[in-house]
Amino acid sequence: MAWIYLLVAAVFEVVFALATNATEGFTRLGPSLLTAAAAGAGIFFLSLALKTLDVGVGYTIWTGIGSVGTVVLGTLIFDEQLTLWKALAFVLIIGGVLGLKLADRSASAETSAEPSAA
């Protein structure tokens, strides 16, 4: 369930970033309220995920998904430029996120495979 919470938190992170762009320096009420709500919801779901996940793994994956999602949607919605170097950097971020997820799964499997002390 922690991974679902983390994914939901990352979605709110993307909404937060995109809404912040639309606040125009927090001079527009609607986007400003959306920004605050998305930030709060993102932190809430991140905190639920971190009940189970290591903070280093959870936070890194949260920011990684948030960063990549923001770049992709920023390119599509705001017509921001996505250069080859940016794309390669984000491929590395995605690879790192997947690596951390696999490392966490491996560590969980090793922990559950250890015999318990009697």
- Specify if 17 maps to a domain: yes
Q: Can you give the pTM of this predicted structure?
A: 0.77
d(CA 21, CA 17): 7
Domain count, the chain: 1
- Specify if 118 maps to a domain: no
Domain boundaries, position 12: 2-111
Orientation of helix 2-22 relative to helix 55-77, angle to 10°: 40
Residue partners of 57: CB distance under 8 A and separation at least 6: 100, 101, 103, 104
Is residue 114's pLDDT more than 80? no
Q: Tell me which H or E stretch contains 36.
A: helix 29-49
Is residue 105's pLDDT more than 80? no
d(CA 87, CA 68): 9
- Specify if 30 maps to a domain: yes
- Specify if 68 maps to a domain: yes
Is residue 23's pLDDT more than 70? yes
Mean pLDDT of 68-88: 91
